[in-house]
Structure 1
């Protein structure tokens, strides 16, 4: 198995990180999206 590349999109809230990641997944074969993690408490409506 060949090692892959890891991309980390880190920026302030509302700057388009998710939009950028989704576009990359849609336009690039063999790219997957990983679930992110935060240490803050969930906001109302979040799981």
Structure 2
């Protein structure tokens, strides 16, 4: 896989969600990265949409396998 990675980082309330929503509309090649978490889903959250929800064991195995950028 190749391409550019853009990180949108700003304080709460700065408009990150709005900015990303507009960017996603402008170019179909722009994709949103969905993070992984070991926490339980909150009400209304769907696996693969807000986060990928995995067990702590799976998360640690993914780290050991070098599956994350950070």
Fold match by TM threshold 0.5: yes
Give the alignment of 1:2-41 within 5 angstroms: 3-36=2-35
In 2, Cα distance between the equivalents of 1:36 and 1:16?
A: 19
Q: Which runs of 5+ in 1 are unaligned?
A: 38-45
- Higher helix residue share: 2
Aligned length: 39
- Name the CA distance, whole Å, in 1 between partners of 2:34 and 2:21: 12
Unpaired runs of 5+ residues, structure 2, are 43-70
- Higher Rg of the two aligned structures: 2
